[in-house]
Chain A
């Protein structure tokens, strides 16, 4: 089981702030984000336990995943 949290402008679109899932890898995860197509999900920044991972990363039980839209300036 992994915990996924969604941040940034995209969180207003998905209307889901977090979810728990048993997906095995990044590719599977990108297909199940509520309100987003796989294509849209692919354009999010993905961090696992605070670090960037490769596209073929296999999740481990307890991983904390953050998905966020690119930010900008303030």
Chain B
């Protein structure tokens, strides 16, 4: 591992000092099995001297036994960790690799390119700041190049390296390189990347990986490693409003109450005013407590413990913010969902929603549309299957603090967990929280200002919506039930009706009476909720113990 061998040998203390200021870059590599992705990463590890002699000996032996380079060193074998993968000759999951130079430590998320593994790419990209997208110079842009680019843009990556590989096989042809780059820039324009950097490389020969290649005198940019060492990805997290999701309340004795969490954005100093997102209560920061002494300031990314000047009620799940810039605080986020499980999304079924502030039960009330990752076209769907991506409306059992994902990856993301299998079934990225009034799914009769309005509950089963919001109804109304909803309830499904106050209860009771339905009543923060159902029917899976508190 020869970094600065000379300095290490002569003055180790000076070397260690110089290493203390290193930064960290996480990036993801995207490409198919044949693009030479594993070879590229193997090469980076190799050339940055992260391979030891004993590993080299094993690599040489493996290259002879299972290598694809005719007995020559097969760098890809440095990476393929699991035995099953080796035998199949493909990488089947997300793997993380590490290497470092004198300027930066790198964490590489290595993910496969097959369509069925969209979920792995999204997983690997979720923590990355840069994506290296590999293209085979002979083939140019493929469907999967577009797919990968869309996925990394969805997950919020802003910097793209277009690594046009196997340049040796097209004779280092500048025109072909330029054509591929131009194609890509045109395709990627709507994806909103901050930077796109195209490089002509050969992972196998090492061209423009560590050193500039003599084969591409026409290429003026830096080699890949140098680019990765210097690319500026530091976002503006520090300039954004302060956010601290409270992870844990540290209460060792009556005299100390510390609020622990990782600063998601902004900075904080003793004396700063803060606000609790759920209650709206405010206080001032007293101390920022650490093992190594109190801090004068904490910045985004630090895991800290705050004490406050006042005793206010704060627990895990709360978010501390600057008073003048509160986050969304909503039960109804609208979000992109990436479905990650074999069993498709069941709209209406209760899942556990894990966010930066904890776990809240919730359901997907509607899938607005799905996106075809190959064409980027939207299509109408009612559910999402494995590796499908769509825009969905979520209903949570209680309000949760969010920011739009585009503004903050940490406070704008969530995962969905199946309550029965505990599997992680989806990844979510919050877009916004639409106005409540858009959420009633009703068909209104002719309006007559003197008579109660007739509202027919319909289309619920057809679209898998099971929420009726009547809080915006100003006047009197009566309710009727469409046959489809009658059938829907007959199968054990339930419908949640939200009322503004008790004055709206009578028409609901009348509806239940007329249709021999039962209901459960719950008063909550912003009104009244009624869960309407048919007695004597067994609820479908997912409703047996739905924990809605209704």
Are A and B associated in one complex? no
